[in-house]
Amino acid sequence: MAIQDIYPTALRLLGRSVLVVGGGPVAARRAKGLLDAGARVTVVAPLACPALAELSDAGLLEWEPRTYRASDVDGAWFIQTATGEPGVDAQVSADAEAQRIWCVNASDHESSAAWTPAVAVVDDVKIAVNAGGDPRRAMALRDAVATALETGDLPLRRHRDLRQRGSVALVGGGPGDAGLITVRGRRLLGQADVVVADRLGPRELLAELGPDVRIIEVGKTPGHHPVPQSGINRILVDEAVLGNRVVRLKGGDPYVLGRGGEEAEFCRQHGVDVEVVPGVTSAISVPAAAGIPVTHRGLAKGFSVVTGHEELSEVPARADHTVILLMGVGQLRESAASLAHAGLPAGTPVGIVENGYLPNQRVTIGTLGTIADQAEAAGVANPAVIVIGDVVRVSPFAPSNFKTADYGTASPNAPRPARPAKNRVLTP
């Protein structure tokens, strides 16, 4: 049988009688798939493997513990042979053919009237692959297509109006690199009808969306909020009420200083289904882009994330407690002064990472006493993450005089000779 002779279709077997002849593992797998499709399954086989016996004991199918009879095909809508005996399978197939019943002959795919494809399900999409009678090839192709759908490389978006109920997904896009969005977030983005986008996050993914996907820009810059938060909340609900799948694409994590909680609560108050997809928060990932861990054995056991100098009075003013400032460039001088007033030494290391993970990433490293002047001279601007504490010493961008110890795992903080730093951008 040539692949050109196959007419792909899908059978609705809900409530219909189906016959499986055979009692081994293949028969069990086929019976399970038929049960999943809602068929009424009868198995004819002298013996049943444990998996098949369990289905029978649970009352999910009827097992006739005997050899096959020609009359077994009577009244069946569909038949699957899997005895492992070519002669028996051929007889079942011939009896089915005589009554014009579609039959899969597991022993001889060339003469079989029907083929069973390799199947996978992703959301409400069922993938079925035939590969010229080569089951391993079919399974490999099936898995590749399923993975591409799950990761968003292939679109899952609906294009036919199925009177779907609208929904909102608050998706954390990570620090900006398209490769750092989660698999779930990428998948939902590929299903979206409407994307409500921030200025930060994986912007290049927007260019991959279909031409009929609407993108609503609500990005904010310091001191300029063209769409207030109340307006964003209303956009999400209004678009979902129209039946759209809405993705609110944010930078970082929607629940880390991203007002995701406010948006989720507003959706729930208005009866809109909402899903929150965590993202890689810039508070941790952007320092990592510059080789700065927010905690490190022997240097820091904890960290605090704040957005402005007014919160700094609430965090420990110690070099062994990492302070991470988000959106803090404009108030950097005031923040440094607040921490110094609280007792943090002027020589405490400070690192600023602009545009983390992007091609124009830049790292500025100094001390609490010098960093404001350095940032002003260099024209440091948001988006940037500021890290304050001894963990900055670990960065490969740190100047050599910062690296007075071995920060490895084997002998943490053992003294070591200072080595020239490479690739640092600014130093004190």
**Final residue before a domain boundary, out of 226, 259, 280:** 280
- How does DSSP classify residue 175? T
Below-50 pLDDT ranges, the chain:
1, 416-424, 427-428
pLDDT digits (tens, 9 = 90+) for 340-383: 998 999 999 999 999 998 889 999 999 999 999 999 999 999 88
**Do 85 and 43 reside in the same domain of the chain?**
yes
CATH number, domain at 347?
3.30.950.10
Active site residue 422: no
**Residue 315 belongs to some domain of the structure:** yes
**Residue 428 belongs to some domain of the structure:** no
Q: What is the pLDDT of residue 422?
A: 38
**Do 62 and 182 reside in the same domain of the chain?**
no
**Residue 160 belongs to some domain of the structure:** no
Name the residue among 1, 4, 8, 5 with its Cα closest to residue 116. Answer: 8
Active site residue 143: no
Q: What is the pLDDT of residue 4?
A: 65
**Do 358 and 371 reside in the same domain of the chain?**
yes
**Residue 319 belongs to some domain of the structure:** yes
Structure tokens at 386: 């500021």
Q: What is the pLDDT of residue 400?
A: 86
Backbone angles phi, psi at 7, to 5 degrees: -110, 105
**Active-site residue (options: 95, 177, 193, 198):** 198
**Residue 363 belongs to some domain of the structure:** yes
Q: What is the pLDDT of residue 221?
A: 61
**Active-site residue (options: 32, 143, 220, 406):** 220
Q: How many CB atoms lie within 10 A of CB 187?
A: 23
- How does DSSP classify residue 382? S
Please spell the DSSP secondary structure of 304-350, one letter per residue. EEESSGGGGGGS---TTEEEEEES-STTHHHHHHHHHHTT--TT-EE
Tell me which residue range forms the domain holding 371.
284-415
**Do 242 and 172 reside in the same domain of the chain?**
yes
Q: What is the pLDDT of residue 197?
A: 94
Q: What is the pLDDT of residue 309?
A: 64
CATH number, domain at 171?
3.40.1010.10
Can you list the pairs that 209-218 forms with residues at least 24 positions away whose Cβ atoms lie under 8 Å? 210/155, 210/157, 213/157
**Do 288 and 408 reside in the same domain of the chain?**
yes
How many domains does the chain contain in total? 3
